[in-house]
Amino acid sequence: MNQQQILDQLKQNGNTHIKFAFADIDGILRGKVIHLKKFEAGLSQGYGFCDVVFGWDSQDQGYDNTSFTGWHTGYPDKPCRIDLSTFRTIPWQNDMPFFLADFSGEGNENVPCPRTLLKKIAAECEAMGFHPEFAQEFEWFNFSETSRSLEQKKFTNIEPLTQGMYGYSILRPSQQNSYYYDLVNLLTQFDIPIEGLHTETGPGVYEAAIIHDHVLAAADKAALLKNSVKEIASMYGIMASFMAKWSEKLPGCSGHIHQSLWSADKATNLFYDEADELNMSELMKHYVAGQLYCLPHLIPMYAPTVNSYKRLVEGAWAPTTITWGVDNRTTSLRVLNHAPEYTRLETRIPGADSNPYLALAASLASGLYGIKHKLPLALPPVSGNGYTHKSNGNIPGNLYEAAMTMKNSAIAKELFGSAFTEHFTNTRIWEWRQFSQHVTDWELKRYFEII
């Protein structure tokens, strides 16, 4: 639909307001509801939005270590632009018209907007003659809690929606039948088509896979899925959490990325080669080699929180080494190669807490780096336990180490520019500082009496 068709439809439907949102540096959707007249006027001029949304953290605390915006700039407005191609209606909110937005275009050259960054990487890919096809899948835990109950309980004795370890259960979803099928049906109506939804191992945990799409549309759907699941869950008195690791006693929550490059007409999967022993084309081998080479420089874009690294431990269904393998779930990169239409790479480092725009941008940019430089896939595939293959390096053990590596990385600056790399890594260092200043329950229990 073009601009006029959308406006005509909104007016014919009697819509007086629309909702729009964009993702901040943490992947959290920020936005507002505006009148149809303001929506129409802003289509040509943009919508002024306070740039504090890229100058504060997930708790709305302003960064003191970034230069993009702050008290020193007065937190001015930046022109936010709605992408009309993202038009959909929200079925659980009386079909409210909804759009995604970003901070692309003139005047926004230095705005650290995640969606704008991914658009730039996608354009580079298409200029090379490739169509990038992506999908991100998520695991998350569901709890019989609300934000009020958690605050009253001080985040202790949190009650999962169901009990016990019961992966791929038919029984557990039937016990929450209305919620389970509302997830499938409402998300699909909201143009987030669900390929599969099932329980994972753990009390109250679900996993959803989204049908693959162009990389930008895939990131849009991933970002919307996380927010939409929370909204739908809240209608049932349920809280959905996409934390990477909410309990050290349970598996973490992943946000794996599936990706392939196709011909510009989308007719041929360029990753597949029937003549190759592993059915991998030279293009795919360069792509995998690029990801392996760039991984140490980009980890915070896959694992952006302090909590992310609690998931990346041995024996917890998450990788710890810079490795690849064919259909191997213990490596960082998993190649799936059983048929031309399904041959793809799965990047397994991202957790459910990742910002989809940044995680997909990191995957695509690093794969393209391997193609541009024709990097050979010299590292052999791992067959067996990838946790024991440490010769090519390990994933950093905490956010500070990963952020400092990326901050000082020439590779990161080449892929994403110095301004974005500086701003993003400083926000991760800020996140580490907030954690480091906090006294945890673990410290109290360990040191209060005995030390």
pLDDT of residue 218: 98
Question: Average pLDDT for residues 155-160, to the nearest whole number?
Answer: 95
Strand 77-90 relative to strand 205-210: parallel, antiparallel, unpaired? unpaired
Q: What pLDDT is stored for residue 107 in this prediction?
A: 82
CA distance 214 to 258: 12
Q: Tell me, what's the pLDDT at 418?
A: 97
User: For residue range 234-293, what is the model confidence (pLDDT) as tens digits?
Assistant: 999 999 999 999 999 999 999 999 999 999 999 999 999 999 999 999 999 999 999 999
Rounded Cα–Cα distance for residues 95 and 307 (Å): 36
With cut-offs at 50, 70 and 90, classify the pLDDT of residue 17: very high
Mean of the per-residue pLDDT values of the chain: 97
Whether the CB-CB separation of 27 and 226 falls below 8 Å is answered with yes
Confidence bin at 156 (pLDDT 50/70/90): very high
Give the whole-angstrom CA distance, residue 135 versus residue 217: 9
Structure tokens at 324: 């690849």
User: Residue-wise over 261-274: b if at least 16 C-beta within 10 A, else e?
Assistant: bbeeeeeebbbbbe
Q: What is the DSSP letter of 419?
A: H
Q: How far apart are CA 201 and CA 99, in angstroms?
A: 35
What does pTM read for this prediction? 0.97
Q: Tell me the average pLDDT across 6-24.
A: 98
Which percentage of the chain shows pLDDT scores above 70? 100
Contact 54, 46 (CB under 8 A): no
Per-residue tokens: 369 = 């780096």
Please state, in angstroms and as integers, the Cα–Cα distance from residue 399 to each residue in 38, 101, 114, following that order. 41, 29, 19
CB-CB neighbours of 409 under 10 Å: 18
Task: Provide DSSP, 319-358.
Answer: --BS-EEES-TTSSEEEE-SSGGG-EEEE---BTTS-HHH
Q: What is the pLDDT of residue 106?
A: 83
Decide if pLDDT at 79 tops 90. yes
Alpha-carbon gap, residue 34 to 91, rounded angstroms: 18
pLDDT at 169 over 90: yes
- pLDDT tens across 290-325, in order? 999 999 999 999 999 999 999 999 988 999 999 999
Q: Cα 228 from chain centroid?
A: 14
Q: What is the pLDDT of residue 281?
A: 98
Nearest to 229 by CA among 168, 161, 180: 180
Angle between helices 114-127 and 356-372 (to 10 degrees): 30
pLDDT beyond 90 at 44: no
- The pLDDT-based confidence of 175 (bands split at 50, 70, 90) is very high
**Could you give phi then psi for residue 137, rounded to 5 degrees?**
-115, 155
Rg for the chain, CA atoms, rounded: 22
Model confidence over 346-403: pLDDT tens digits? 999 999 999 999 999 999 999 999 999 999 999 999 999 999 999 999 999 999 999 9
Report the distance separating Cα 134 and Cα 67, nearest Å. Answer: 33
- Full set of structural domains in the chain with CATH: 3-111 (3.10.20.70), 124-446 (3.30.590.10)
